[in-house]
Structure 1
């Protein structure tokens, strides 16, 4: 009997407690807290609720705040209109099992079935499958890591007991206010019908949340979906890593900029000015980083997301980076990754202006989208671009030689780095459809772009 008890305790420890410990304490395979300068993620569990969730969506819309909803599949099926509203208003959707039942008391097969059924319910309503998962009560079992490997498991950095009435709105507000800072992941509850919760509790949560949103607005915080916070976190980590590991190499490379290279750069900048005149490039944002011209597409037909097809003769807004600005970025960057990050950030900053320019110059809707060719294309998908290999031919050959020469000039480690990795430096077409480009007009990254990008990278 004692041996049987020992074996049962060992099994429970292995199946339940150890996975919970390593995920919640050590953060194994889960996302709990981000790193950001302004962004914070507020997440909601257990809904949707027909009374409180619409009030919550009204409140979020009032403050232009985006959130992440981990929904219960059975409730999603009962209230598809609320799920559709969440999706249409740019919020992120995640899975919270089909019924609110702990993974500790379910077999691995049952957990997988619960998750799949909820995914099917959300897909039927929105046309897109969720990629985020939060187990009820944040409890994982041993097999969740492998069976749910295609989902990003999300926990939290702040929990405030808002599922009970007892704390009240004032206490909830004070608890949240203490932890209100960039990078935090709050978990709140928009439904009080779950076992152990109080049905009226979300009313107190909404009162406290309204004050938190007001405070965040005054502090300059941005309330974003969990996917955007994860992207920002990844970028900041990569940036820091590159600063630590390759800062010395870049500094040495900058010190080696001799008179020969300075002459090449001077000639290059003269050619840059001539190029702008010959091809009649027009500036975006006063020409700080990007210029453009309208062209006719002359390549092979391209099939893009959303059923858009780019055909020969279609009008495009062709983007051109300012090489003077690129040189400045390269000379002040710590590494090639740092160059790419800076360029992506500059492009993101320019996209709202590009959208407004398309709207201004093309009221008839003849411009099919944005187009460019660049060797710095890694990460472009995260902004809504699609990348395509250049078709083989003389244009591809000359473009590759030209862009490698450009990279050897602007690269922080010089031409040696480019020669060493010449086989991996591949110029590619970067294309964005008109509809996706115009979605940037508000100045904020469209939520569907972040979700689409993550859907292609499910194992982050």
Structure 2
């Protein structure tokens, strides 16, 4: 997650080019009708069944960047056949977190970090008829994939050092049922830039991204989700 913060400015520049410069050029030079007076791509609400060409360009650019980023930091799918969740093993550098099962993770512990595959998430969104259907798909897929994280931990040469599953996301409702402890990010630069980064990500890959940011901004708060390896083993014994 920290590495992504350093690349946020690059993505902001791409957003500026696609959402600001390209439409201005098309309007001023080419006179494309879609940018003339009347409902524009900035004003039309995204639906699950219709995605504008600008949205497709933004998603394509973002996902290409994301593939490069994943390769650089060794993020890979839990299941190649169902690549909804990606993982990597990393060192936790945050403050000590008390988990609901009595365990703690502290600075220097190793964790298995979870990442959504945003290409899969985007495709789920545009194929779903409603947010409820999308949520059901996400829950069912997560239920299938979470048990597969345990072999990844146990097959690692230093598995005894991996203390927890760990993730930071704005999609955190319902994660407690899987065994996660959900807590606020400590105030500071990491929390600030994480919020910017994840809201930017949502605006790009969510079919209703811009409208969701405008209408649900008070709910779009990134949270830290952590499950101890012991709790993972208890819930999903191999």
| Global fold match (TM > 0.5) | yes
Judge conservation of contact 2:46–2:207 (CA < 8 Å) in 1.
no
Structure whose CA Rg is larger: 1
1:269 aligns with 2:72: no
Which blocks of at least 5 consecutive residues in structure 1 are unaligned?
1-250, 444-460
- 3-state SS in 2 of match to 1:253: coil
CA distance in 2: counterparts of 1:284 and 1:272, whole angstroms: 17
What is the CA distance between 1:273 and its match in structure 2?
A: 0.7
What is the CA distance between 1:358 and its match in structure 2?
A: 0.9
- How much is the aligned-residue C-alpha RMSD, in angstroms? 2.1
Which blocks of at least 5 consecutive residues in structure 2 are unaligned?
1-44
What is the CA distance between 1:364 and its match in structure 2?
A: 4.9
Judge conservation of contact 1:300–1:311 (CA < 8 Å) in 2.
yes
Judge conservation of contact 1:292–1:317 (CA < 8 Å) in 2.
yes
CA distance in 2: counterparts of 1:329 and 1:344, whole angstroms: 12
Judge conservation of contact 2:153–2:159 (CA < 8 Å) in 1.
no
1:410 aligns with 2:205: yes
Cα 1:255–1:438 change in 2 (3 A) is: same
**Aligned residue among 254, 259, 270 for 2:48:** 254
What is the CA distance between 1:306 and its match in structure 2?
A: 2.5
What is the CA distance between 1:379 and its match in structure 2?
A: 0.3
What is the CA distance between 1:313 and its match in structure 2?
A: 0.8
What is the CA distance between 1:395 and its match in structure 2?
A: 1.3
CA distance in 1: counterparts of 2:75 and 2:179, whole angstroms: 24
**Aligned residue among 419, 424, 446 for 2:214:** 419
Judge conservation of contact 2:62–2:204 (CA < 8 Å) in 1.
no
Judge conservation of contact 2:48–2:129 (CA < 8 Å) in 1.
no
**Aligned residue among 280, 285, 297 for 2:79:** 285
Cα 1:341–1:397 change in 2 (3 A) is: farther
Judge conservation of contact 1:356–1:441 (CA < 8 Å) in 2.
no
Higher mean alpha-carbon deviation, 380-389 vs 292-301, is at 292-301
Deviations 1:244-294 (A, max 9, x none): xxxxxxx97134411111100110110111111111112211161122111
CA distance in 1: counterparts of 2:235 and 2:153, whole angstroms: 11
CA distance in 2: counterparts of 1:260 and 1:327, whole angstroms: 15
Higher mean alpha-carbon deviation, 276-285 vs 406-415, is at 406-415
Deviations 1:15-35 (A, max 9, x none): xxxxxxxxxxxxxxxxxxxxx
Alignment-derived partner of residue 387 in structure 1: 182
Alignment-derived partner of residue 439 in structure 1: 234
Moved over 4 A (4+): none
Judge conservation of contact 1:340–1:378 (CA < 8 Å) in 2.
no
1:341 aligns with 2:136: yes
Paired residue total? 193
What is the CA distance between 1:340 and its match in structure 2?
A: 3.2
